[in-house]
Amino acid sequence: MKFGNLLIAGLVTGSIYAVFAVCVSVWYRVSNILNLAVGDFAMVGALGVDNLYRVKGMPLPAAIATTLVVVAIFAFAYDRVVLRLAQDGPRRMEGIVVTFFFTFALSFFIDGVAKMLFGTDVHAAPALWSGQALTWASLHLERAGLLVLACAIMIGGAFWLYIRYTLGGKALEACGENAIGARIAGIDTRRYRWLIFVATAVIAAIFGIVESPITGYTYLSGATISLTGFLAAAYGGFRKPGRALVAGLFIGILEAMIGGYVSAQYGDTVLYAILAALVLTWPRGLGFESAVSG
Amino acid sequence: MSRLTSVPSALRVRSLGSAGLVLVAGAVIVILYGQAYTGSVVVLSACYAIVTSGMAVQIGFSQQIAFSQSVFMGAGAYGVAMLNTHLNMSVLVATPIVMAGSAVAALLLGSVVTRVSGLALAVATLMLPLIAVGYVSSTGFLGGAVGAPLTGTLWTTGSTTAVAVGGGLITVAFLAVAMFVASRILTSDIGLELFVLGVDERTAAAMGVRTPRRRLELFVLGCVFAALGGAAYAGTQQFVPETIVNPTSELALLIMLFIGGRRSVLGAVVGALVIQYLQGASTWVSVNILVVEGVLLTLVLLVDPEGLAGIVNTGVAWLRTRLDDRLPGALAGAGAGAPLASLDGASNAHGSASGAGEPDVLVTPTTLATLATPSPAVADASGAAASSTVPLLECRAIGKEYGGLSVLDDVTIALPRLGLFGLCGPNGAGKTTLLNVVGGSVPPARGQVLLDGTDITRTPPHERFYQGISRTFQAVHLIKGRTVLDNVAVACLASHKSSIVTRIGRSRLDDARDKAAQALKDLGMQHMQGREVSSLTLENQRMVELARALAPRPRLLLLDEPASGLSEQQRYRLADLLRAVGEVTCVFLVEHDLDLVAQVSQRIFVLSGGRLVFDGGPSEFRASPVVNSLLVGL
């Protein structure tokens, strides 16, 4: 049952990638900015809860609630101060500076603050559902892994339902297609920008809390998580949350399979080489806006 | 009175001066503070600055984001370390060997990854540090997590102080050479190509820029600079840490570039210095460097997306404005400021009578006569066929679908060498697609395009530009941040077939600017040549586009709705100009304004639903029931 266990492991990691990819691509749709700090919010969620619960002795529900509120307030304040100055001012910035570098600076800032507050050791939020791994025949699934899968399905499904079936979701799609057009049609693009930014920050924090018992986080873990989210979002064409979800799961399963069947040591190398080859041979199909030329 | 428009830092690259300045200042500091803290910071920053000055060319100026720098910096550092420890080779000898090896590797790798551009290039190259990290940490040969120590240094003779000072001086010299090369390229005619490539790849291709080749050259340049930086790092630090290759190092380099100013070579160097200096400025800062870098990057970008270089340039421009206000008489001799003066100042200086931003386009067939002489290259190409009866442009049974929707269906058109030919049709009839098929940016699904009897169906847009096809776009595609003169000069470049390396020696930007100035003069537009294009009215922007399309003296001029957005009076002027152009070249005009088309065209084609439904002269066009029902609604 090696295959079955690898598939389960791949699905769990894949669902982590998928959730962050969905967060990145939903916000990119609204704002045309890539959130490279999404993983850092997850790290703050995990380490914040751990710090409040283990070090400060706060009850677990209160620790979780406090952490999430702080994350939400911080995300809101960031949008109000930095993004408003960069995007809503008289000289609206465009291009790679906005797309990459503001959230990239944010990521550095959050990591630095986390280092001050939480130190440099590996920590994790306490397991929300402790106990032995679930076994069925020879298949094993950690309880935390099941929680991760459940969260991923709920978050992915909720976004999908929201975009597909609600007026708010349609408006959200419109913001990314054409911000000026959306504004003329009476859609407040700025409101959507901060709403989705705060929502994805909180979702990322929740996910960090649920997931951290599996891997354990340090103050630098955020960058790696953002990277996987960014990659999976890239293979979903950045603007398509549904495809980002599938791409995340695919990368997770591919990673597990290569690790199990090809090489554990050079697994990552093979994985990244395959991913690079995919971009180079099929850029249009993967939804990269610029196509092959020449 | 005279207000200076804001000048992009790109125009202000004081290229050679800045390399010399860095050389002298760096050398003085290294000699004075060789082994002290200040000296070591300057030398370490110089290593990074070599890398970031290459990034300024590749990533900042040409906007080709590739995450390959840390990998090649690692290749340079590890390469030198390995040659030094295993073959006992001196660092100074190993450096050029490693650079050559990196160039070959970058050429091979680049010919694969630079087939794609934009985000695809960024994502594909992001895999490089990710792959390299796994390789470096698990390879015992390179020292794994411990890193690789060196026995040798850049400078080996003398006391420890002499070794430190000598190595430092060599590193600063490397940096000065790197800056010199980067600045020479950016201020040359190829620099103008790269600027266009960075702003708008499609326009670049339509103006003859070989975009895939330039991307590859930029990639190789970035990698070789990174390898040199890495070699200098290994040679001065005597140790290569494992962390030199990883995504975080890549991001650290990007932070240096963007804080300093992405389009400025000097800015990239200053950025490296600022970050390295901060890391040792105080204990608090070095512990909390991530917070400091995050806040600093946010603040700098909020003040000016062009980084510290942009802030300094804005400051200088502001000071100059103040000085000009105080000394109005000094305007004429304002030197560098004069070409960028606003219209009021420029037209006063030229004594021309253009008031209230109205254009002063005085085109007559006589002034246009100079445009009739084809450029040498085109003359060669057309010489043989010129006397024959072969049509200039022939579209044979062109077909094209977009996702199942038929846009062009069996369209056949032939145009002779001279004259003006209109193409009309309702929205979505396929007019622009047909123009793109002729221009080369859209490949047809079926059919053939022939220019002078030669099949060019599969020829890329930049090759078609050399063969004498020139075009304008439906939406204005000018290069913001550059002057009118430079925008026209883009179409006059003779650099397309040259390699980037040739421009270190000699730039031919002035030749291109001379040709552009002549083309502007022919159109009576010389008074606006110093203005930045986004400060122009829409009519003038369209005129600049037209001038740019005419400047290379095309055999076939493709115009996509040149009259859209213009007033009636402006349309009259445009019609006069078009008639004059039609006497010296072949013009294929897509236009919604039926009156304008009927006035100027000698033959008109009408497309509807992708099919050719009318083909005839202007009088038939006016009388045709098909045309009236389709376009006029009668």
pTM for this prediction: 0.85
Q: Indicate yes or no: CB of A280 within 8 angstroms of CB of B112.
A: yes
CB atoms within 10 A of CB A122: 13
Taking each helix axis from N to C end, the angle separating A189-215 and A60-78, rounded to the nearest 10 degrees, works out to 140
Nearest CA in chain A to B62: A96
Under a CB-based contact definition with an 8 Å cutoff, are residues B219 and B58 in contact?
A: yes
Which tens digits make up the pLDDT trace of A112-154? 999 999 988 898 888 887 777 777 777 778 888 888 888 888 8
Q: A109 and B294 in contact by Cβ < 8 A? A: yes
**In angstroms, rounded to a whole number, what is the distance separating the alpha carbons of residues B29 and A224?**
39
- The single-letter DSSP state of residue B617 is -
What's the pLDDT at A224? Answer: 83
Q: Would residue A288 count as lying in a domain?
A: no
Q: Please tell me which of the candidates A238, A275, A293 has its beta carbon nearest to residue B205.
A: A293
- B32 Cα to chain A: minimum distance (Å): 35
pLDDT digits (tens, 9 = 90+) for B575-619: 988 888 888 899 999 988 888 888 899 999 999 888 888 888 888
Q: Which residues contact B296 (CB under 8 A, 6 or more apart)?
A: B259, B274, B278
Candidates B134, B287, B460; nearest CB to A266: B134
Question: Contact, B260 vs B269, CB < 8 A?
Answer: yes
CB nearest B460 (choices: A110, A116, A294): A294
Contacts of B213 in chain A (CB under 8 A): 294
State the smallest CA–CA distance between residue B306 and chain A in angstroms: 9
- Whole-number mean pLDDT of chain B? 83
For the beta carbon of residue A26, count every other beta carbon within 10 angstroms: 28
Amino acid at B425: G
* Contact check, Cβ <8 Å, B123/A279: yes
Contact B527, B352 (CB under 8 A): yes
Q: Count of domains in chain A? A: 1
Contact A293 B305 (CB under 8 A): no
Q: Which two tokens stand for residue A211?
A: 């997931």
Residue ranges making up the domain that contains A203: 2-281
| Binary contact (A106, B254; C-beta < 8 A) | no
- Bridge partners of B261, per DSSP, are none
Query: Which pLDDT does position B335 carry in this prediction?
Result: 38
Q: Do B138 and A265 touch (CB under 8 A)?
A: yes
Among candidates B294, B295, B302 on the partner chain, residue whose Cβ is nearest the Cβ of A85 = B302
**How far is B255 from chain A, CA to nearest CA, in Å?**
8
Work out the mean pLDDT of chain A and round it to a whole number.
85
Q: Are B233 and B73 in contact (CB under 8 A)?
A: yes
H-type alpha helices, B461-537: 461-466, 484-489, 509-522
- B289 part of contact set with chain A, CB < 8 Å: yes
Residues of B with Cβ-Cβ distance to A96 under 8 angstroms: 63, 65
Q: Which residue has the tokens 């697609």?
A: B433
Q: Do A279 and B294 touch (CB under 8 A)?
A: no
pLDDT above 90 coverage of chain A, percent: 31
Show the CA angle centred on residue A67, arms to residues A65 and A71, nearest 5°.
115
User: Is residue A230 a part of any domain in this protein?
Assistant: yes
Which chain B residues are closer than 8 Å to A112 by Cβ?
288-294
Least confidently predicted of A212-221, A236-245, B110-119, B477-486: A236-245
Q: pLDDT by residue (tens digit) across B250-280?
A: 888 999 999 998 888 999 999 999 999 988 8
CA dihedral B370, B372, B378, B383 (to 10 degrees): -120
| Secondary structure class of A198 (helix, strand, coil) | helix
| B126 and chain A in contact, CB less than 8 A | yes
> Which pLDDT belongs to residue B370?
54
Q: Residue B340: which pLDDT band, with cuts at 50, 70 and 90?
A: very low
B118 vs A contacts (CB less than 8 Å): 288-290
Per-residue model confidence as pLDDT tens digits over B150-166: 888 888 887 888 888 88
Nearest to A115 among B118, B290, B460 (CB): B290
Residues of chain A numbered 31-70 and touching chain B (CB < 8 Å): none
The percent of residues in chain B predicted with pLDDT above 70, rounded, is 87
| Partner-chain contact B295 A105, CB within 8 Å | yes
Per CB-CB distance under 8 Å, the chain B contacts of A82 are 298, 302
Q: How far is B134 from chain A (nearest CA, A)?
A: 6
Q: A142 lies in a domain?
A: yes
Q: Give the tens place of pLDDT for each residue, B10-41.
A: 444 445 688 888 888 988 888 888 778 888 89
Joined together, the tokens standing for residue A294 give 């020449």
Confidence (pLDDT) at B513: 92
Cα distances (Å, whole numbers) of residue B447 to A45, B402, B556: 60, 16, 20
**Using a CB-CB distance cutoff of 8 angstroms, which residues of chain B are in contact with residue A265?**
138
- The CATH number of the structural domain formed by B365-632 is 3.40.50.300
The pLDDT of residue B603 is: 92
Question: A20-29, B38-47, B324-333: which range is least confident on average?
Answer: B324-333
CATH number, domain of A222, equals 1.10.3470
Would the CB atoms of B302 and A86 count as touching at under 8 Å? yes
Distances (CA, A) of B188 to B181, B217, B266, B375: 11, 15, 17, 22
Which one of A112, A290, A294 has the shortest CB-CB distance to B290? Answer: A112
d(CA A59, CA B545): 68
**Domain coordinates of chain B in residue numbers?**
14-246, 365-632
Name the phi and psi angles at A25, rounded to 5: -75, -30
| B126 interaction partners in chain A (CB closer than 8 Å) | 227, 231
Closest CA–CA distance from residue A189 to any residue of chain B (Å): 21
Return the CA Rg of chain B.
Answer: 28
Q: Does B331 touch chain A (CB under 8 A)?
A: no
Contacts of B587 (CB under 8 A, 6+ apart): B419, B420, B421, B556, B557, B559, B578, B581
Q: Do A108 and B297 touch (CB under 8 A)?
A: yes
Q: What is the pLDDT of residues B321-335, one digit of tens each?
A: 888 877 655 444 433
Q: How many A/B residue pairs have CB atoms within 8 Å?
A: 135
